[in-house]
Amino acid sequence: MGGVERDMLTPPTVAVIGGGQLARMMQESAIALGINLRALVEAEDGSTGLVTVDKAVGAPKDLDAVRALIDGADVLTFEHEHIPAQTMEEAARVGVDVVVDSAGVSDEEQGNPIDRRAARVLRDAGYTVPDHRARQIRAGELGEWDLILAMTSRHLSVLERLADRAGIEHEGAPASASDLRSVGAPRICLYRDLDPEGSGDVPDPWYGGHQDFLDTLEVIERVTPQILALVR
């Protein structure tokens, strides 16, 4: 993971590969949050190109455009899942600071979109709901990540066993950003190991009601700044 020296008054730059409807909606939230969104768009007059000042023009397979997109960015994310392997490799080679992904430990929700109740809570809170589809994590990819966050202790146990079986050495929760970068092995820990109010499982709202989803969002909003402090 690379590092970008940053004045704390300078807003972070989030680079997104994809210039469709989702990226356009991300721009609205980025403005509200004080974040600079930089998008890779295939046309300047497309839906995202028209509303985004900071952009690179090209397709995801255009490595020159990808380099321009991620130059100086703090975080790289994707609007869709169909990203060429060479694009991912180039992002890693150039040294983009943060690549974010999400996966489950089982395949029971494979291919399903975000839960409609969770989507409602996110929209009501002013967040853009991603067009994310559930997938199951692969043991081999654990060694590709610097920080792997498990939502519950059961998930943590599964991830640790997967890493052990794959022969991937791993450590626990990092104490600081320098600690995270000083170890070559991935860090696998609970999401709430980074919670200033104490560790434990993130509450699972699946079998609950609307308030349970709100409670889960509260935990995520409390912990996310701690994660950003580690990886930026």
Q: How is the chain split into domains, by residue range?
A: 1-100, 102-232
Assigned CATH topology for domain 1-100:
Rossmann fold (3.40.50)
Host H or E run for residue 17: strand 13-17
**Mean pLDDT value of segment 38-50:** 87
- 64: tokens are 């020159």
Q: Give the whole-angstrom CA distance, residue 194 versus residue 223.
A: 6
- 2: tokens are 């690379």
To the nearest 10 degrees (0 to 180), the angle between helices 210-231 and 116-124 is 70
Is the pLDDT higher at 19 or at 55?
55
Give the pLDDT band (50/70/90) at residue 4.
very low
What is the chain's mean pLDDT, rounded?
86
As its CATH architecture, domain 102-232 has 3-Layer(aba) Sandwich (3.40)
pLDDT of residue 1: 35
Give the pLDDT band (50/70/90) at residue 3.
very low
Edge-to-edge strand order for the sheet containing 75-78? 55-57, 36-41, 13-17, 75-78, 98-99
Is the pLDDT higher at 229 or at 7?
229
**Mean pLDDT value of segment 81-101:** 69
Q: 78 with 18: CB under 8 angstroms?
A: yes
* Adjacent-strand bridge partners of 56: 40
pTM of model > 0.85: no
SS3 15: strand
- Digit-coded pLDDT (tens) for 112-157: 999 999 999 988 988 878 778 899 999 989 998 999 999 999 999 9
H helices present in 34-84, as ranges: 63-70
State the Rg of the chain over Cα: 18
**Does this chain's domain 1-100 share its CATH topology with 102-232?**
yes
SS3 137: coil
Q: 52 with 30: CB under 8 angstroms?
A: no
Asked whether residue 5 carries a pLDDT value surpassing 90, the answer given is no
Which residue type does 190 have?
Answer: L
